[in-house]
Amino acid sequence: MTTFLVFAILVLFFMVLVLIAKASELASELKDGKRAYDNQSKWNGYFLLFFLVAMFAGSAYCFKVLMPVMVPKAVSVHGVKTDLLFNTTMVIILIVFVLTQAALFYFAYRYNESKGHQAYFYPHNNTLEVIWTVIPTIVLTGLIAMGMYEWMHMFNVEARDKKMMVVEVTAKQFNWMVRYSGKDGKFGDRIIDQEHITPTNELGIDWTDKNSHDDFLADKIYLVKGKPVLFKLGAQDVLHSFFLPHFRVKMDCVPGIPTEFYVEPTTTTVEMQEYLSTQPWWQTINPETGEPRWKTFKYELACAELCGKSHYGMQKEVVVVTQQEYDEWLSKQTAMYESVKSTLPEKTEVVLASMEAPVSEIDLKGAAETGIENQLIAFINDASRPVDKTTWFSFDRLLFETGKATLKAESNEQLDNMVAILNAHPAVELKIGGYTDNVGKAADNLKLSDERAKAVKAELEKKGIAASRLNAEGYGDQFPVGDNKTEDGRAKNRRIDVRVTKK
């Protein structure tokens, strides 16, 4: 409250000063009849001249003091060119700035209003107009052409090095998820839907895609000196911006629109520290660490698009190293899959009909020689194939009424075959899995698939199989075997699979 009062008093005091000045001016005008205006205009001229000098001196001082503190030299191939472009523009602007501002303020001083002075009326001059239109046009066109030329180089997809690294960066409130493709150089697919995006799988990685099994998340971005890298950028929630100031990289990360940036780092972090150790400002001691500033220098990734309350905290370290150091680092990373593997729902491999299998002696109805029944029997008979959680047999002739868990009559043949197999191998126990395509709500699909699996179990029990030998579970639209984008694929995905749990 006292601060507020002090502040209010200061404001009032200032107002009183202005009023006193005004009053004394009026008083002197009344006293000797001289127009204060003439004097004012002269003083205005002096002030403007003073302002001109002060402004140039101030700008020069800022350049001197602040330039050494600014982000140091560019450390990417395109960054050097960007800087050249920037500096060229800056020099041209500075020249024009100095000339026009000097003229502006000098003229205001030189030709200030005074008694008996008439302004010279000079309305038009074609030559001058052409000059000040044509010259800026040429200069600006030149600058834009230079810029376009560099831009096209930076974003020329054909000119990219085929052996470049690819790093995937996904932004979210409020951190960066940096994914490397691991040893195989291939990223596992990502599926952006309710089911795949979970707290343990924020990127929605499709673990059934084997390429994902060696992908890893890095806590720092490691790059190799001289090795181009393509950053594939994305965002999950709001706009962010991928900003690597030292590399002169800035690219928006937009939910729903992939963006990318191709960079070739030219200087390792250590080399950069060595370079900075020769720079005066960087040699000064940082009071927080008690060491020269260059010692703790790091390349940095920051977010450059206001994205919410902790936007300022969206930072990550970038480390540029040699190939050898990179390989060493790479070998120490653990794949994401390792930590999630145990939590994944069982099953990854589905055995389909039409694969070779020996014909069994069990009497099967309507089953082709390569049919799924024979595959199952082959598995049961083959002692070298252990019971596991990943081998499922896809029964292709168990059909249901649309949207219901009622088995159609033609399913009977395959049901009877299952009963025959179970009767021939009394030790065998089975798990029945129900699946759907991805049409409709995931929760509804899950329920339906569960009901269907249980319907099959109930049917087998009716045909005399002990309930204790059977287990049933629905998996909804997970684990598709066909492409959900085609009707054919969706038909394949609406199915019942069977896994041997004991033999």
Partner 1 sequence: MQTSTVDHAHTDTHHDHVHGHEEHHHEETFLTKYIFSQDHKMISKQFLITGIFWGIVGGLLSILFRLQLGWPNETFPFLETFLGKWAEGGKISSEFYYAMVTMHGTILVFFVLTGGLSGTFANLLIPYQVGTRDMASPFINMLSYWFFLGASVVMLLSFFIQTGPASGGWTAYPPINGLRDTGVNLGSGLGFDLWILGMTLFICSSLLGGLNYIATVLNQRTKGMSMFKMPLTMWALMFTAVIGVLSFPALLAGCVLLEFDRLLDTSFYLNNIIINGQLLGYKVVLLFCSSTCSGSWVTRRCISSFYQLWVL
User: Is residue 457 a contact point for Cu ion (CB under 5 A)?
Assistant: no
Residue 439, both tokens:
């049409």
Output the smallest distance, CB 213 to partner 1, in A. Answer: 24
Q: Shortest gap between Cβ of 100 and Cu ion (angstroms)?
A: 39
Find the Cα–Cα–Cα–Cα dihedral 157, 160, 163, 167, rounded to 10°: -60
Shortest reach from residue 303's CB to Cu ion, in Å? 3
Tell me whether residue 14 or residue 312 sits nearer to partner 1 (CB atom).
312
Dihedral sign computed on CA atoms, order 44, 46, 51, 52: positive
* Residue in the block written with tokens 């940096």: 178
Q: How many residues bind Cu ion (CB under 5 A)?
A: 4
Alpha helices in 115-200 (DSSP H): 126-154
Query: Nearer to Cu ion by C-beta: 172 or 490?
Result: 172
CB 406 within 8 A of CB 452: no
Residues 373, 421 contacting (CB under 8 angstroms): yes
Helix runs in 253-397, H state only: 269-276, 280-283, 323-332, 336-340, 372-381
Q: Which stretch binds partner 1 (CB under 8 A): 2-10, 259-267, 326-334, 366-374?
A: 2-10
Partner from Cu ion, partner 1, none contacting 473, C-beta within 5 to 8 A by type:
none
Q: Residue 431 — φ and ψ, nearest 5°?
A: -115, 130
**Closer to Cu ion at the Cβ: 240 or 452?**
240
Of 1-9, 71-79, 214-222, 326-334, the segment contacting partner 1 by CB under 8 A is: 1-9
192 binds, among partner 1, Cu ion, none (CB under 5 to 8 A by kind): partner 1
Contact status: 128 vs partner 1 (CB under 8 A): no
Judged by CB under 8 A, does residue 443 bind partner 1? Answer: no
Which of 33-62 are b and which e, b meaning 16 or more Cβ less than 10 Å from the residue's Cβ?
eeeeeeeeeeeebeebbeebeeeeeeeeee
Q: Interface with partner 1 includes 310 (CB under 8 A)?
A: yes
CA distance 503 to 500: 7
Residue 254 touching partner 1 (CB under 8 A): yes
Site for Cu ion in 212-241 (CB under 5 A): 240
Piece of the chain touching partner 1 by CB under 8 A; list 47-55, 250-258, 379-387, 457-465: 250-258
- Least CB distance to Cu ion at residue 251 (A): 13
Report the candidate in 300, 302, 297 with the shortest Cα–Cα distance to residue 243: 302
* Residues at the interface with Cu ion (CB under 5 A): 240, 303, 307, 314
* Residues at the site binding partner 1, with contacts judged by CB under 8 A: 1, 3-4, 7, 37, 172-173, 192-194, 197-199, 202, 236-239, 254-257, 305-312
